[in-house]
Structure 1
Amino acid sequence: MSEATIALKAQQVEEVADKFKQSASAIVVDVRGLTVAESTELRAALRQEGVQLKVIKNKILTRAVDEADLSDMKDLFAGPSAVAFSSEDPIAPARVLKKFADSIEALEIKGGVIDGHVATLEEIQKIASLPDRDGLLSMLLSTLQAPIRNVAYAVNAVKDAKEEEPESASESSDSDSNDEA
Structure 2
Amino acid sequence: MAKPDKVAAVSELKEKFTSSQGAVLTEYRGLTVSELRNLRRSLGEDASYAVTKNTLTQIAAREAGIEGIDEQLVGPTAIAFIDGDPVNVAKGLRDFAKANPLLVIKGGVLEGKVISAAEVTKLADLESRETLLAKLAGAMKGTLGNAASLFQAPLSQAARVLGALEAKAQEDPSVIAGAGSAPEATEADAAPAADDNTPAADAAQEEK
Shorter chain as denominator, the TM-score bin is 0.7 to 0.9
Superimposed CA distance per residue, residues 21-59 of structure 1 (whole angstroms, 9 cap, x where no aligned partner): 11101000011112333222111011x242100101111
SS in 1 for 2:106: strand
Matched, 1:82 2:112: no
How far apart are the structure 2 equivalents of 1:137 and 1:62? 36
TM-score of the superposed pair, with normalisation by structure 1: 0.76
How far 1:92 moved relative to its partner? Answer: 2.7
SS in 2 for 1:154: coil
How far 1:144 moved relative to its partner? Answer: 2.8
> Counterparts of 1:163-174 in structure 2 under 5 Å?
none
Residue 176 of structure 1 is matched in structure 2 by none
Preserved contact between residue 138 and residue 179 of structure 2 (Cα < 8 Å): no
Aligned residue pairs total 152
Residue 154 of structure 1 is matched in structure 2 by 184
Preserved contact between residue 51 and residue 92 of structure 1 (Cα < 8 Å): no
Identical residues among aligned pairs (%): 34
Preserved contact between residue 54 and residue 74 of structure 2 (Cα < 8 Å): yes
Structure with more of its chain in helix, by fraction = 1
Gaps of 5+ in 1: 160-181
Larger radius of gyration: 1
Which stretch of the first structure deviates more once superposed, 84-93 or 101-110?
Answer: 84-93
SS in 1 for 2:108: strand
Preserved contact between residue 26 and residue 103 of structure 2 (Cα < 8 Å): yes
How far 1:84 moved relative to its partner? Answer: 0.2
- Given candidates 117, 124, 127, the residue that maps to 1:121 is 117
Residue 170 of structure 2 is matched in structure 1 by none
Gaps of 5+ in 2: 142-177, 188-208
Matched, 1:59 2:55: yes
Preserved contact between residue 26 and residue 93 of structure 1 (Cα < 8 Å): no
Superimposed CA distance per residue, residues 111-162 of structure 1 (whole angstroms, 9 cap, x where no aligned partner): 000111111111111111112221111121233343322x1x524xx59xxx
Preserved contact between residue 29 and residue 102 of structure 2 (Cα < 8 Å): yes
Residue 37 of structure 2 is matched in structure 1 by 40
How far 1:8 moved relative to its partner? Answer: 1.8
